[in-house]
Amino acid sequence: MGALLSLPLLAIPSVGTLVTFAASCCGATACGALCSVCGAAKCSNSVATRIAYALILLVNSLISWLLLTDWAVKKLQKVLLDYVTIDCFGHDCFGFAAVHRVNFALGLFHCVMAVMLLGVNSSKDKRAPIQNGFWGPKIIVWLGLIVASFFVPNRFFEVWGNYVALVGAILFLLLGLVLLVDLAHTFAEYCIEKIEDTESGLWRGILIGSTLSMYLGSIAMTIVMYIFFARSGCSMNQAAITINLLFLLAISTLSIHPAIQASNPRAGLAQAATVSIYCTYLTMSAVAMEPDDKHCNPLVRATGTRTVSIFIGAVVTFLTCAYTTTRAATYGLALGSGKGHIALEEETEDGSHGLVATQPESRREMRAEALRRAVESGALPASALDESDDEDDESSARGNKNDDEKNRTQYNYALFHIIFMLATAWVATLLTQNIGGDKDIEKGDFVPVGRTYWASWVKIVSAWVCYGMFGWTLAAPVMMPDRFDYS
């Protein structure tokens, strides 16, 4: 089937091969097999589905990146009979539009999916298979949208790429920062709860060891940046590295301030360390990917296989983006996760509630136990147990043993697709900001991903915003004590 789906793009052999791979591997069945190979005894449907969508985003990003090469542009112009070739903005408008076409197609696909899946709360909903199945038709629709996008005039994508996609990329970045700050608090508070509940030295060691390791990592990256990227005349790098260091010290001091501790006793260095190492990494990534027109980036002049390093860098960037998007799109209560909402209780005759003290091994056993109690109390006839067994056998025969969303979805389907739509805007913006920016790239070579001052400043400012968000989470309980209760 993969060969059939790649027919529209056979004019570009490499892209056609890539799409064939996507059609063969980007399905829940293949992803479920991958989970099993990696050691997961029970790879649930929801996990396999999320992996499949992440792979589609990865393949789509690689396709749009390949379309920036001079070779791919010439192939496309030949296939499309120069229908979409016009001069605009004084740079390679075709490459700019080609990237936005591919990402717009996937973004539109996720937008339609979000609308179709509004209000789906469990796999029992008739619309749930649209999310977790029909991979062949969905891939056909995705490829069809890509092909159709090349018949839309360039003028539309000039507006889309310079305004709409840019706004989507900013929203995607902000969402990632919010989730990072939330993760910092969640990780530290989880460790503290384990320490308080179990009094285990293991969790104490994990908390202290991870905090110390993250601070040492931040200091090591800062030293490396000062040595290699903050030479004389590199004022941008010097300022970015120094401001990051000052923010690091500021939030660390703030997290252990007596007033902060009084309002939120669980605030501490563990949260600050998590934010610090991430923001220091962002700053290091920014200075390591800036252009070398001022001789401030020795990595650009490093000897070695240039094409291989650029290719590996692009793949790693897109893998990180796919993972981050999937993680953000399914992250806990912020996005309507169903985790933690399932509890089995029944009301006894005297009005009290009898909670199940021990959790059965599966939802099937939980349901059977509830039915047995209902039969014993006379609320249901004894035949209900036989009917239940028949239904369970039917369900098992249909192959639903890995369905972990019968009672409630593990994540909000609609929001999941909205975040993926924002991710396509970020990928397109990241790629197109580099068009014409690296003058030392030979025609036909791969384009380095993110090697522009724009991308560098986006990362630097994102780190500052992240520090600000975290600082506000520490200061807000002190400034507005009535709205926060950590007791």
Q: Are 121 and 208 contained in the same domain?
A: no
Q: Are 133 and 12 contained in the same domain?
A: yes
Q: Are 74 and 197 contained in the same domain?
A: no
Is residue 466 one of the residues assigned to a domain?
yes
pLDDT at position 151: 84
pLDDT digits (tens, 9 = 90+) for 171-195: 888 888 888 888 888 888 888 888 8
Q: Are 8 and 143 contained in the same domain?
A: yes
- Helix/strand/coil for 80: coil
pLDDT at position 336: 44
Distance CA 238, CA 222 (A): 11
- Give the residue numbers spanning the domain of 237: 171-300+455-479
Q: Are 385 and 459 contained in the same domain?
A: no
Q: Are 198 and 243 contained in the same domain?
A: yes
pLDDT digits (tens, 9 = 90+) for 188-221: 888 888 888 887 788 889 889 999 999 999 999 9
Is residue 335 one of the residues assigned to a domain?
no
pLDDT at position 410: 81
pLDDT at position 262: 86
Please state the rounded mean pLDDT for residues 39-58.
Answer: 75
Q: How far is CA 455 from the centre of its chain?
A: 19
Q: Are 6 and 104 contained in the same domain?
A: yes
Is residue 70 one of the residues assigned to a domain?
yes
In order, the DSSP letters of 331-342 are -TGGGT--TT--
Is residue 163 one of the residues assigned to a domain?
no
Q: Are 148 and 32 contained in the same domain?
A: yes
Crossing angle of the two packed helices 28-37 and 45-66, in degrees rounded to 10: 110
Return the half-sphere exposure (C-beta side, CA atoms, 13 A cut-off) of residue 195.
Answer: 15
Q: Cα Rg for the chain, rounded, in angstroms?
A: 26
Is residue 157 one of the residues assigned to a domain?
no
Is residue 121 over pLDDT 60? yes
Is residue 108 over pLDDT 70? yes
Domain count along the chain: 3
Return the half-sphere exposure (C-beta side, CA atoms, 13 A cut-off) of residue 233.
Answer: 6
Is residue 271 one of the residues assigned to a domain?
yes
Is residue 269 one of the residues assigned to a domain?
yes
User: How many angstroms separate the Cα of 316 from the Cα of each of 107, 263, 309, 430?
Assistant: 21, 41, 11, 14
Is residue 381 over pLDDT 60? yes
Report which listed range, 66-70, 263-267, 380-384, 467-471, is most confident. Answer: 467-471
pLDDT at position 312: 65
Is residue 40 over pLDDT 60? no
Is residue 94 over pLDDT 70? no
Is residue 347 one of the residues assigned to a domain?
no
- Of the candidate ranges 144-148, 367-371, 425-429, 438-442, the one whose mean pLDDT is the lowest: 438-442
pLDDT digits (tens, 9 = 90+) for 258-313: 998 888 877 889 999 999 998 998 898 888 878 766 778 777 665 454 555 566 66
pLDDT at position 138: 94
What percentage of the chain has pLDDT greater than the value 70?
A: 63
Q: Are 178 and 139 contained in the same domain?
A: no
Q: Are 45 and 132 contained in the same domain?
A: yes
pLDDT mean across residues, the chain: 74
pLDDT at position 197: 84
Q: Are 105 and 87 contained in the same domain?
A: yes
Q: Are 399 and 429 contained in the same domain?
A: no
